[in-house]
Each structure stands twice: as C-alpha cells, then as structure tokens.
Structure 1
Amino acid sequence: MMVKKRTVFCGYAQPFPGWHRLGRRFMVRQRKWRRFYVSETDSFLEEVTEEVRRDKMIKTMRRNAPFLIGAVVLLIGGIGVNEYLKASARAEAEATGDAMMAALTAEDAADRAAGLQALVAEGGDAEVLARMQLAAVQAREGDREAAIDTLRAVQGGSGVDTRYADIAAMKIAMLLQGQDTVAERRALLENLSLAGHPLQDLALEQMAALALEQGDTEAALADLTRIVESPTASSSGRSRATQLIIALGGELPEQETGADLLPTDG
C-alpha cells in the first residue's frame, strides 16, 4: 500500500500540495501591511511633532514680541539719530569753512582779523586753525606781540594737537628773532630739533641763525652740519646749509659732493 508523502513547509507538514505557495503569499502580504502600518504611524507622529513645534514657536514669539518690536524700534531710531548727527556735523563744518574763507578773502586786514576772531570765539574744531591764521594776519600787519600771544594760546592750549603746538612754537621762535629773548628761542628750538622730529631741519636752521647772532660760529657750523647729514632734510634745505658752511669757512662732510652746492628750487 503506497503512503502519500506530505509536503513540508517551514518545518510543518502541509495538508495538500501547493499549500506552501499560499503561505508565502500570506506572509508577503502581512509584511507589506506591517510596513504600511509603520509608515502611517511615523507620518502621524511627524505631523503631531510638527504641530507641537509650531505651537511652541508661536507662544515664544507672542511672549517675546514686545522685546522684538522694541529692538527693531531702537535699531531704526539709532540709525536715524546717527544720520541726523552726521548731517548736522557736515552742515556745521561747511558753515565753518565758508566763514573761514570769507574771513581770509576779505580785502581789509581789519575785516580778516575780525572774521577770524569770531571763529576763535565760537571755539570748536576750527578754533586752532583760526588762531593760526589770525596770528599770520597780525604778523603781516606788524603787530608782532599780538601774533605771539595768539600763537602762545595755540602752543599751550589744552587738547591741542601736538603738530599744531609744534608749528606754533616754531612761529613764535621766528617772531622772537631780533628781540632779547635768546633763552626762550633756544628752549623752543631745542625741543623741535630733536632727532626724528618733523620740524628738525627747520629748527636747526633757526638754531644756526641764533648762534650766528651770538657770534658762536662753531655752534652754527655744528647745527648746519646736522642738516647736511640728516636723511630727512630736503634738497633745498641741505643746499642752503652747505652754502652757509662754505661761507663760514667750515668743512663739508665727506659724503657731500659738488652737486649739493648748487641751489635748488623749493
């Protein structure tokens, strides 16, 4: 008697042939359904999470809205104030420049002095320049004492830029020339003749002239030699110093040549 062999699928005896194919189809469909269910669950969780995040963001914005609006208002207001201050400063500078030009171009010296004195009285950034120009007008008109007093106000003024103070000191020393103020002139010029000072060469020329006034030829030659040896001396200043050294009977430094004896423009 023949025994019918049963089909085995996944370790279990199958009731009839072809059953394993039905089992595979069922398992495939079950996996597909599981993937679909998991996908739908993930999508739902993502939507819920996004809604929660959006609600939190809205609550945060509502809570911080006054601060954000205040920051924007302050920013816009700061920009407006800054632009207003710039425009005011520009207008003030233009007005001061116009007043300075009007004073300098006046035909009468008294009008020039009056315009510059008005700018000095106003103060501000143009005060120093107005004093320098006023001193020049006073010196041209022969009022040397008034010019010196005006320059002293620049030289000893608080908060005055060092460059303007040094220029004022140089002008004072030049205006004091010919007066019985040798010690003061020498003190002013010695500070300006230090090595590396922008006015070193001009100060050395004035010191040489002061030494010649006192009859000290050796000191004058020493100052003139410093000009000739100075790497910052202009060609015209070096030429003048060279000619004075020769006129005083001094000896030129070894590096000097005949080309330096020729006068140059400037």
Structure 2
Amino acid sequence: MAEESDSIFREVDEDVRRDQMLALWRRHGVSFVSATVVVLLAAIGWQIWTDMRESSLNDLSDRYAAAQDAAAGETPEAAASLYAQLAKDLDGGYGLLAGLRQGATLLEDGDAAAAAAAYDRVVAKAGDSRVKAFAGYLAASAKVKAGDADGAIAQLQGLALPSEPLYYSATELLAAIYTAQGDIEEARSRFDALVEDPAAPAALVARARDMLALFDAESPGADADNSVGETESGSAAQ
C-alpha cells in the first residue's frame, strides 16, 4: 500500500512540475510571438506590393477591405466562411491574408483543427518562404490546441532548422511540446541548442535557461546531490 501511494504521489508531482514548466513558457511566450508577427507583416506587405505593381487587378485592396467590413458584422463561423471564399478568389498577398484571417477566426471560435487546416492551405499557397514558415508555425500551434501534438511535431521539425526563417521560435515551441509530453531529453536538447547559439534572441535564450534550470532542479540526481552536499556539510560541522 505504501509503495502504491508513493507511486501515485510521484505521478502527481510529475504532472505538477510539467504544468509549472509550461506555465513558465506561456508566461514569456508573447515576446517571440510579437516578433514573428512583424516578420509576417513585412513579408506579406512586400508580396502585396509586388502583386499590385505587376498586376492589373487593382481592386484587390478594395475587395479585401469590403470583406473585412462584412466579416466584422458576422458570427465567427460566417466570418470564417467569408475569408475562406476570399482566399479562394484572390491570388497573391491578399489571398494569403484572407487565409490567415480565416485561420485566426476559426481559432477564436474554438475550432483549432479547422484553423490548422486553414493555415496549412496558406502554407501550400504561399510563395514567400517567410510567409510559408509563419503559416506553418501557426498551423503547428493550432494542432497543439486541437490535441494533435504528433502533427505539430512533424510540422515543426521542418521549421526548426537553422536555414528556416522561424528557426528559433519553432525550436522553442517544439521543446515546449516535448516538455508537455514529458519527453525531457528531447526538450532539453532543443533548449540546449538555443542557449548555445550566439545568434539566438536574448529573451528566448533566457526562457530556455529557465526551462533547463527547472529540468536540473527536478532531475532524479538533483535530490541525491543535495543530500550528499548536506551530509558533507554536516560532517564538516562535526
């Protein structure tokens, strides 16, 4: 009975530690999300400008603005349908923006799986590598919310490469997913890579160090090391 009770408490303790790790990541995650939004806007802005310069369809902006106004007065489900249709009708940057807005609206409405599918369509349609990477990152995030961690991991593994535009953010999100799954070894390897990269953003490195410190504090050897230290201190005092 005592062994069974100890096992139950260990499982609960592991869940609590995992929740603490995720809470830490969520608390500091806004900063890198805002940074990737800037990347996205710059990339799509350039693509829209190129489309408008090279295309005779100068009503794209008006059509997109009209759809936005119409969507503002609709339910999230109806707004998502409007954006879905716009994404099909428009090529170039405005079509990509419509697809992203569709995904965001679906996510706001609580349909994470449909949001992920919308973002994946943007990935397939985008020509700019930065837009493709950001849409893929959003798709992976939505898949996590939808409970498809394996799908998110598969997508992020292609984004968490040094050659990819969102390498650092994708690596951090991948590490967070592994943390949630309890795969600390995989999570640690990703956080270590971020800490050891001299070009990694300082705020991201700080978060990675915090997570690694939590791993170290909660590792099986940590208590043993502390016990040895306390024993040695006690012996010295005697």
Q: Among 140, 165, 177, which residue is 2:108 paired with? A: 140
CA distance in 1, matches of 2:53, 2:169: 39
Larger RCO, structures 1/2 (Cα 8 Å, 6+ apart):
2
Query: Per the alignment, do residues 90 and 197 of structure 1 end up closer, same or farther by CA in structure 2, a change over 3 Å counting?
Result: same
Counterpart amino acid of residue 165 in structure 1: K
Aligned to 2:90: 123
Query: Per the alignment, do residues 243 and 141 of structure 1 end up closer, same or farther by CA in structure 2, a change over 3 Å counting?
Result: same
The CA deviation at 1:93 is 3.4
Spell out structure 1 runs of 4+ moving beyond 3 A. 85-91, 103-108, 178-183
State the TM-score, normalized to the length of structure 1.
Answer: 0.53
CA distance in 1, matches of 2:54, 2:178: 53
The CA deviation at 1:179 is 5.6
Aligned to 1:63: none
The alignment of Structure 1 onto Structure 2 pairs a total of residues equal to 165
Q: Is 2:120 aligned against 1:152? A: yes
CA distance in 2, matches of 1:120, 1:107: 17
Q: Among 171, 174, 177, which residue is 2:138 paired with? A: 171
Deviation per CA, 1:63-109, whole angstroms, max 9, x where unpaired?
A: xxxxxxxxxxxxxxxxxxxxxx9798473133134225425644643
Query: Per the alignment, do residues 180 and 118 of structure 1 end up closer, same or farther by CA in structure 2, a change over 3 Å counting?
Result: closer
Q: Among 151, 154, 160, which residue is 1:193 paired with? A: 160
Larger helix proportion of the pair:
2
The CA deviation at 1:127 is 1.4
Q: Is 2:134 aligned against 1:162? A: no
Cα pair 2:77 2:109 within 8 Å, conserved: no
CA distance in 2, matches of 1:123, 1:230: 40
Tell me which moved more, 189-198 or 138-147.
189-198
Query: Per the alignment, do residues 120 and 98 of structure 1 end up closer, same or farther by CA in structure 2, a change over 3 Å counting?
Result: same
Deviation per CA, 1:210-232, whole angstroms, max 9, x where unpaired?
A: 22233221221221121222233
Cα pair 1:103 1:113 within 8 Å, conserved: no
Aligned to 1:98: 65
Q: Among 209, 216, 234, which residue is 2:183 paired with? A: 216
Query: Per the alignment, do residues 92 and 233 of structure 1 end up closer, same or farther by CA in structure 2, a change over 3 Å counting?
Result: same
RMSD: 2.9
The CA deviation at 1:244 is 1.1
CA distance in 1, matches of 2:173, 2:216: 19
Counterpart amino acid of residue 149 in structure 1: A
The CA deviation at 1:112 is 3.0
Cα pair 1:103 1:116 within 8 Å, conserved: no
Cα pair 2:77 2:106 within 8 Å, conserved: no
Cα pair 2:64 2:86 within 8 Å, conserved: no
Query: Per the alignment, do residues 196 and 161 of structure 1 end up closer, same or farther by CA in structure 2, a change over 3 Å counting?
Result: closer
The CA deviation at 1:191 is 1.0
The CA deviation at 1:132 is 0.8
Superposition map of 1:73-92 within 5 A? 89=56, 91-92=58-59
The CA deviation at 1:118 is 3.5
| Larger gyration radius, structure 1 or structure 2 | 1
Query: For 1:204, what is the secondary structure of its paired residue?
Result: helix
Which structure 2 residue ranges, 5 or more long, are not aligned? 1-51, 218-238
Query: For 2:115, what is the secondary structure of its paired residue?
Result: helix
CA distance in 2, matches of 1:143, 1:195: 32
